[in-house]
Structure formats: C-alpha cells, structure tokens
C-alpha cells in the first residue's frame, strides 16, 4: 500500500520526467531549472490529494481521490499546460534579453536569476498535475481503490 514516502518518490520522478520531456528544446542551466521545477512540482502534486483529504480513516477517499477528478482534471488542465509553459518561457526570454543588454552587474544578475526562476515555473507547471495523477494512480491499485465520484 503506497505511503507518503512512496507517493513523494513517484511524484518527484514522474514530475521530473514530464518536465524533462516538455523541456527537450531548452538547454543548459535553463533545462536544469525546468527539471528541478518538475521534480518539485511532482512532489507537491503527489502530496495534494492527502492534503485536501487527510487519511484520518481507511475510507478518507472522496472527490480529491476519485476517477472523476483524474479524468475531469486532466481534461481541464492538460490543454492549458503548454500555454502556461510558453508564457513562463517568454518571461524568461524577456529577462535574458534584459540581462544581455544591461551594463550594470546587479541588474544583469537579477535578470538572469529571474530567467532561471521562470524556467523553474515552466517545469513546475508540468510536474504538478503529473504528480497529482501519480498519487491517484498508486491509490487506484490499493484494496480500497478509488471511488468513481465521491
């Protein structure tokens, strides 16, 4: 039966994998930032279902742990992931351009740091929903399974 440690481990791995796949055209430190964002997002996503519905009893699974949430959430969130990532990468590109055109060292440093941050956000955007789905996927194969609705 999956416990918190297993949920987090699988969430980190699958979130990082989703971010790595989404960042296949990103290079260098920006790729690493997106990978790190995916790992963190996957862990947060894997933790969310039990945060929303704490395991206070064996029958704690309701709407946050349901097939309806998995299917409905995927249908709502999946088409939005790429546009969110594109916006984050556009912000990163704006900060990289500002850093490249700056003569001031501190301005250059902060703009580079913000570029890395926005790439992290792009990775987090891919990792969060995949981590959530990994939690539901692991719980689906337990004796209690997942409810269809709630």
Query: What is the per-residue pLDDT across 87-97, written as a single tens digit (0 to 9) for each?
Result: 999 999 999 99
Assess contact for 46 and 129: CB atoms under 8 A.
no
Give yes or no for residue 50 having a pLDDT over 80.
Answer: yes
Assess contact for 5 and 95: CB atoms under 8 A.
no
Average predicted confidence (pLDDT) for the chain: 92
Give yes or no for residue 1 having a pLDDT over 70.
Answer: no
Cα–Cα distance measured from residue 17 to residue 90, given in angstroms and rounded to the nearest whole number? 22
> So what's the pLDDT on residue 150?
61
Top-confidence residue, 1 or 2 = 2
Give yes or no for residue 149 having a pLDDT over 90.
Answer: no
Cα–Cα distance measured from residue 125 to residue 105, given in angstroms and rounded to the nearest whole number? 30
> So what's the pLDDT on residue 90?
98
Cα–Cα distance measured from residue 66 to residue 147, given in angstroms and rounded to the nearest whole number? 5
């Amino acid at each position: 039966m999956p416990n918190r440690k297993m949920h987090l481990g699988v969430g980190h791995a699958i979130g990082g994998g989703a971010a790595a796949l989404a960042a296949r055209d990103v290079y260098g430190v920006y790729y690493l930032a997106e990978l790190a964002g995916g790992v963190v997002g996957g862990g947060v996503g894997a933790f969310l279902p039990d945060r929303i519905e704490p395991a206070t009893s064996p029958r704690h699974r309701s709407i946050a742990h349901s097939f309806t949430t998995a299917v409905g959430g995927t249908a709502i969130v999946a088409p939005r992931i790429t546009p969110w990532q594109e916006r984050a990468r556009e912000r990163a590109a704006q900060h990289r351009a500002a850093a490249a055109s700056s003569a001031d060292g501190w301005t250059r440093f902060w703009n580079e740091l913000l570029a890395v941050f926005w790439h992290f956000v792009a990775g987090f955007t891919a990792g969060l929903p995949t981590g959530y789905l990994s939690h539901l996927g692991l719980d689906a194969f337990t004796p209690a399974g997942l409810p269809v609705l709630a």
